Structure 1
Amino acid sequence: MSRLPHPSPERMASFVSLNCSFPLQPPPSASSSSSSSSLSSPQSQPRKLIDILSSTCHQTTTTATRTTPASTPPPHNNYGGCSNLIKPIVVNGEPPTFVSAPGRRIVAVGDLHGDLDKTRSALEIAGVLSSDGQDLWIGGETVLVQLGDILDRGEDEIAILSLLRSLDIQAKADGGAVFQVNGNHETMNVDGDFRYVDSGAFDECTDFLEHLEECEYNWEEAFASWVDVSERQRDERKRSQSYWGPWNLVKRQKGVIARSALLRPGGPLASELARHAVILKIDDWVFCHGGLLPHHVSYGIERINKEVSHWMRGLGNTDSYLETPFIATRGYDSVVWNRLYSRDISDLYDYQISQIESILEETLQAVGGRRMVVGHTPQPMGANCKFNCSIWRIDVGMSSGVLDSRPEVLEIRGNKARVIRSKRDGFSELQVVDHV
C-alpha cells in the first residue's frame, strides 16, 4: 500500500488560503481495476472492514489480484464465498456495469442524503446490517444496491460512504455484494456545486482530513475507520460549537476548502466515487438514479460509466473523454437528472402517459432488461411501481434533510418484488409482471 506525502507543518494554515491545493489520491482498489479476484467465505461471524484491515491506522493492507491478459474477454470480478448451491457473482465493466448474480436476493435502497441513522435503519430492515451497533453484514449472499444521492442535505456523508465500503468487503466474503450508483448530488459536488451542502457536512470534511493525517495519509485505512470515528468527532464538535463570531467564518472557509480538496476531479473522495457506475444492470434489472432513456443506451452505458469515472478521477482531458460528461450529468434528460419515470403522472393526459410507457419499454428492450429501479424524486406516498411494474420509484425522502420519512427498501427475489417498510409494520408486495 503506497502512502501519500506527509503534509508540511503549515498544512492547517493552507486551509484558509483560497489557493490551497491538496494533491491526495487514493490508491486504486481491486474492485475497480481490470483484474479478476475471488474471495473465500470465512466460517466465523462477519467482520467490519476496519477489523479486516486493522484495528489501528498504521497497518497496511493487501488485496490479491490477477492480471487479465489483453486478449481475454472484458474484465470481470468473481465474488467468491458463496455456497456450492449458488453460482458466484460475476461483474463486468470498470466501473461495474453488467452483473450476473444468479439466485441472489437483491435489495435496493434509495436516496440517503447524509443521514447515517436513517441509513442504518434502512439497512437493518433490509436484513443486511446487524442491529447491535457493530455495523456487521448479516445479509449473506444478498446483493445490496444503493441508488445514489448520499451527498448533500445531511452531515454524515463520508460516514455513510465508509459504512457501505465496509459492508461491501464483508459481503464479498460471504458471497454477496454491495453496489452503489452515483446520483446528481455526487456529480454536482465533483463539479464544485456546493449549494445543498449541510453545514455539518463541511465540518465533516475538515475533521476527515485531520483523521486522514492521523492515519499518515493511508487512504484505505482512514476511509475504513471513519464510520467509527465520525460520530465521536461530530459529538465533540457540537459540544464546542460556536454559532457567532469571526471564528465561525474561518471554520466555514476551512470546510469549503477541505470539501473542494476532497471532491474536485482527481481528489481522493471524487476518486472513491469514481469506483461506482451511474448505470448498473444486474441480470434483467436496471438501476440508475434518475432514469435511462433510449439515447443513453444508443450512446453506450458502459461508455457513459467510463466517461463519468474518468472525469471524477481527473482524467477528463485525456483519451477523448469529455471534461464533464453531459449525457450523464447535465441537462433535464441526463441519466442522473431525468424525472420522466418518477414524476407524478396524475396531471398528465392519457396520451402523455402512453408516450412515457412507450419510451420506457423501448429503453428496456434496447438495454436487454425487463425492469428499472430509480431514485431521485421523493415519493410522498412511499416506494411504488408504475407501468405494469416495469419501473420502481424508491426514493422516499427518508433523510431528515428531505422529508424525514420512514425508511423503505425494495426487495427483489426472482420475478417478485416487494417494498419492505419496517419489521413492525410488515410489508406490501407487488407481483412483477414478466415482459415477453
Structure 2
Amino acid sequence: MAAVSLGSLSLPPLKCRKVAVCCSCVNGSLRPITVSGNPPTFVSASGRRIVAVGDLHGDLSKTRRALEMAGVLSSDGQDLWIGGETVLVQLGDILDRGEDEIAILSLLRSLDIQAKSAGGAVFQVNGNHETMNVEGDFRYVDPGAFDECMDFLDYLDEYKGNWDDAFIGWIRATEWWKKKRTSESYWTRWNFLKRQQAVIARSSLLSPGGPLACELGRHSVVLKVDDWIFCHGGLLPHHVAYGLERMNKEVSSWMRDFSESNDSPAVPFIATRGYDSIVWNRLYSRDSADEKYQILQISSILEETLQALGAKGMVVGHTPQFNGVNSKYNERIWCIDVGMSSGVLNSRPEVLEIVDDKARNMTKGHT
C-alpha cells in the first residue's frame, strides 16, 4: 500500500466566488447556467430539464442504470454524457453500504466536465453518510470499500500528486484494480494488519483536509436550482434564517480543514448533526404513521420554508421509500431515495424529472 502521507497531492483550492458562469449555450436557445456561491448554492438554469437521483450507497451498477434511465449516461459502457443541456442533481449518500464509492464520485465528476461542454451540469449535495465518514464514523463501510481505499492510494502514486487527473481517471481504472486484488480476503478475523492498514487508508483520504474530504467539500448540503430546493434530509425555517450559503461554506471549510484564521473549523452542527439538521432531518420523508406532528403542522413548516426562498418544491433523499419515488404535501415535497443500492433495499432504480416546473417519476412506463 502507498504511504498515507498525502501532503504532496495538488488539491483544488477553496476560492470564494460570488457568481460563476458554468457553461455557454450550445445552440443559442438557452441562457448560460450561472452559479452563486462556492460551493454552489443558487443555480439559474432557465429552460433546462432537471433530473434528480437519490441515494446510491456504493452501488456502481445501479448508479449507471439510474443515469441511463435519466437519459444522461450512454449505455455502451463508455460512461459518456448524452444529456445535452440537462441539469443532473444527485442527493448524497454515495458513501457506505457498497464497495464502489470512489468510482461513483469519479464518474459524476467526469460527467460534470462532459456536461458543461454540452451546456448542461452535474451537481451533488452531501448526505449524512458523507459527513459521518469525514468525522471518522466508519460503522457502515462495506469491506469492499475499504479495499477500494487501499487500491486508490496505490493508484494515486502513479499520478505523482496530480489529483484531478487521478480522480477523474479512477472510473476507468477501478475494474483493473479489482482484478488485481488477491483472492485472499482482507477481512478474515486473523488479518488484523490488513484491517488496520485499510482503516488508516480511509482515514487519510476522508479526514478533514484529506483529498477525498476536500473533494466532498466542493459540494453543497443544500442547493436551489431555479424554483426547486435539493437537499439530502430536509430544509427547515431555522436553516433558512441561518443562511444557505453560510451553511454550505461552513461545511465545505470543515471538510477541507480550511479557515481564514488557519484554525481547524468546528463541525457545523446545524447542517450535519442532530435529528433536525439538513442531512439528518426526516420530517418530510417518513411515513405518516411515524410522523410526530400532524400533517397540517408539517405543511405549515414546509410552506414557511419554501416561501422564504421563493421555491416551488423540495426534493429530498435519506429515507428509503418502499413505494418508490413519490410526492407529499400537494407535490411540494418529492422523496426520491428508493433504496436502490444492493446494500440497502436492492430495489429498481428510479429517477425524478422536472420539466417546465412539473415533476414526475421517470420510472413509470420503464422496465
TM superposition score normalised by structure 1: 0.80
Task: Measure, in 2, the Cα distance between the counterparts of 1:321 and 1:202.
Answer: 26
Q: Deviations over 1:234-257 (max 9, x none)?
A: 2332645465474x3222211110
CA contact (8 A) 1:106 1:412 kept: yes
From 209, 220, 239, the counterpart of 1:296: 239
Structure 1 runs (4+) deviating above 3 angstroms are: 32-35, 238-246, 316-322, 346-349, 422-425
1:259–1:317: structure 2 CA closer, same or farther, 3 Å change rule? farther
Q: Does 1:185 align with 2:169?
A: no
Name the aligned partner's letter for residue 198 of structure 2: G
Secondary structure in 1 matching 2:146: helix
CA contact (8 A) 1:82 1:88 kept: no
Name the aligned partner's letter for residue 289 of structure 2: S
Task: Measure, in 2, the Cα distance between the counterparts of 1:311 and 1:214.
Answer: 29
In the alignment, which residue of structure 2 is the partner of 1:133? 77
Task: Measure, in 1, the Cα distance between the counterparts of 2:263 and 2:249.
Answer: 11
Q: Deviations over 1:364-410 (max 9, x none)?
A: 01122110000000001101000000000000000000000000000
Deviates more, 1:111-120 or 1:232-241: 232-241
Q: Does 1:411 align with 2:353?
A: yes
CA contact (8 A) 2:283 2:291 kept: no
Relative contact order (alpha carbons < 8 A, sep ≥ 6): 1 or 2 greater?
A: 2
Task: Measure, in 2, the Cα distance between the counterparts of 1:26 and 1:156.
Answer: 23
Aligned length: 367
1:377–1:292: structure 2 CA closer, same or farther, 3 Å change rule? same
**In the TM superposition, what are the counterparts of 1:13-412 in structure 2 within 5 Å?**
21-23=5-7, 25-28=9-12, 33-34=15-16, 74-237=18-181, 239-241=183-185, 244=188, 246=190, 248-315=191-258, 318=261, 322-346=265-289, 348=291, 352-412=294-354
Task: Measure, in 2, the Cα distance between the counterparts of 1:335 and 1:289.
Answer: 7
Query: What is the percentage of aligned positions where both structures have the same residue?
Result: 66
Secondary structure in 1 matching 2:202: helix
Secondary structure in 2 matching 1:95: coil
Task: Measure, in 2, the Cα distance between the counterparts of 1:296 and 1:243.
Answer: 42
Note the aligned Cα RMSD (angstroms). 2.0
Q: Which runs of 5+ in 2 are unaligned?
A: none
CA contact (8 A) 1:379 1:396 kept: yes
Secondary structure in 2 matching 1:286: strand
Name the aligned partner's letter for residue 276 of structure 1: H
Task: Measure, in 1, the Cα distance between the counterparts of 2:363 and 2:33.
Answer: 27
Deviates more, 1:152-161 or 1:226-235: 226-235
TM-superposed CA distance for 1:315, in Å, is 1.8
TM superposition score normalised by structure 2: 0.95
Q: Which runs of 5+ in 1 are unaligned?
A: 1-10, 16-20, 36-73, 426-436
CA contact (8 A) 1:408 1:421 kept: yes
Task: Measure, in 2, the Cα distance between the counterparts of 1:225 and 1:110.
Answer: 24
1:316–1:151: structure 2 CA closer, same or farther, 3 Å change rule? farther
CA contact (8 A) 2:94 2:104 kept: yes
